[in-house]
Amino acid sequence: MVYVLVMENQTPSISCMTEAKKILVFEPDKGMAQQISMAVCGATQITPVTVNTVSEAISFILDHPDSIFAAMVEFAAAETNVLLEKLARRSIPVVAYSADTSEALQQKLMTVGIADMIVGPANTLPISIGKSVGNLARNCKETILVVDDSRSMRAALMRFLKNRCYRLLEAGDGIEALELLKKNTGVKLVITDNEMPKMDGFSLIKEIRRNFTKEELAVIGISAKTNSQVSVKFINNGANDFLHKPFLKEELYCRVDHNLEMLSRIETIRDLSNKDPLTKLFNRRYFFEHCEQFAAKNKDRILTVAMIDIDHFKRVNDTYGHTAGDMVLQKVAGTIEKAFAENGIVARFGGEEFCILTSHDHEEDIFARYDRLRRKIEADTIDIDGESITIRVSCGVCMEKSNVQTMLKAADENLYTAKDSGRNRVVLH
């Protein structure tokens, strides 16, 4: 079959793009199609399916109604209206591009729901297209909460944002929005109306700011009020930005992009100072800066501090080399993080040593949880140069109520006991 150009064994780097997700490029010129294909592949790790005629594009869409992530369309070509309509009907995001800069042609696109429009000299198009589809791929990892009591306004906002591949949540008032924020971690942006029943936008933002800083969660306020004080009030209550209703779709996209980009830059800077670059776990400094705060927040639950050390790690480095050693550290870190990071602080303390501070509901589950982790690490063998190696860890746990420093010391003593009594075990006194 001609259309299967997606590399079968290539793992896409973007989590929301499962193997089923394909990217379609419609470009009449074969040379240009190849350049665009390379740019798209560079940005998304997915080799797109390229077609040179509208009819080929349409039959591809009909054959794969649910597996197309996005389509790149040279919109100046003949009969693209039919193609754009088919894509819109299936809610497939479109990056429309052309070297034709005529105003009339661009006006034609204003009526169709497209994710991005790129107009410029032919030699710059592939790079811009790659960047645009790369952004769409990143967008599908970001969650935006839309809050508006008007169903039609909410639906319009959701439609615009869906076009850009964001993950979306919606709420009809402030109370509902706070509930959703409580249940869904990882919301990056809230777009909220002000005039709403039960809880208005200003009060909602004030509540949000009790738990999230402007650098953790961005808020864009929207209002139909013509009073210029509204934007000031939004910002004073903690909003990052403001949009006046009615607004252009492009204006919304600009504000959303700008705010998410700002958040992402801050996150990068924060990660550089707080996280261990190899394992992406928190570093020792972050642990000590945040442990007492975590303990205070969870004072009504049972706290544990655990020290984990990989058994005979030096042997891994000596036998298989440091690259293999790094792989082992990453794998073990990932397993520990999966098991405990959701409700605690997991840090790499240095070398092959990890520390976990976490809270529990039931005392009787604690040993079992750490032992399950130990067994999981042992069971997940690691493939190095075709050889499957087993990694084991020793773990010392302290659950006596005290300050974190004292608990850490006790956990460390228990870790030594675990090592002394034969390794590959959990010791909890």
Distances (CA, A) of 94 to 38, 43, 162: 18, 16, 11
CB of 171: closest distance to Mg ion in angstroms?
12
Contact at 8 Å (CB) between 274 and 262?
no
Taking CB under 5 A as the rule, which mask of x and - marks residues 310-349 in contact with Mg ion? ----------------------------------------
CB of 193: closest distance to Mg ion in angstroms?
4
Residues 234 and 257: their CA atoms lie apart, in Å, by 19
Only segment of 46-54, 108-116, 187-195, 349-357 that touches Mg ion (CB under 5 A):
187-195
Residues 68 and 83: their CA atoms lie apart, in Å, by 14
Q: In 10 A of CB 26, how many CB atoms? A: 29
Only segment of 58-66, 146-154, 214-222, 415-423 that touches Mg ion (CB under 5 A):
146-154
Only segment of 88-96, 149-157, 322-330, 374-382 that touches Mg ion (CB under 5 A):
149-157
Q: Which residues in 216-245 contact Mg ion (CB under 5 A)?
A: none
200 binds Mg ion (CB under 5 A): no
CB of 206: closest distance to Mg ion in angstroms?
18
Only segment of 121-129, 188-196, 306-314, 372-380 that touches Mg ion (CB under 5 A):
188-196
Of the pair 144, 306, the CB lying nearest Mg ion is at 144
CB of 196: closest distance to Mg ion in angstroms?
5
Residues 429 and 400: their CA atoms lie apart, in Å, by 9
CB of 204: closest distance to Mg ion in angstroms?
12
* Bridge partners, 96 (sequence order): 73, 117
Q: Which of 25, 38, 122 is nearest to 70 (CA)?
A: 25
In the chain the first and final C-alpha atoms are separated, in Å, by 64
Residues 191 and 220: their CA atoms lie apart, in Å, by 5
């991005």: which residue's tokens? 116
Only segment of 2-10, 62-70, 145-153, 397-405 that touches Mg ion (CB under 5 A):
145-153
Selected binder of Mg ion within 149, 353, 371, 413 (CB under 5 A):
149
193 binds Mg ion (CB under 5 A): yes
SS3 label, residue 360: strand
Of the pair 193, 311, the CB lying nearest Mg ion is at 193
SS3 label, residue 13: coil
CB of 249: closest distance to Mg ion in angstroms?
19
Instruction: Return the ∠ at Cα 72 (arms to 124 and 63), rounded to 5°.
Output: 155
Of the pair 192, 283, the CB lying nearest Mg ion is at 192
100 binds Mg ion (CB under 5 A): no
CB of 360: closest distance to Mg ion in angstroms?
43
């409580």: which residue's tokens? 182
Selected binder of Mg ion within 56, 100, 195, 215 (CB under 5 A):
195
Q: What are phi and psi of 25, to 5 degrees?
A: -120, 120
Only segment of 67-75, 185-193, 344-352, 383-391 that touches Mg ion (CB under 5 A):
185-193
Distances (CA, A) of 348 to 39, 121, 283, 303, 426: 37, 49, 5, 19, 18
Binding-site ranges for Mg ion (CB under 5 A): 149, 193, 195
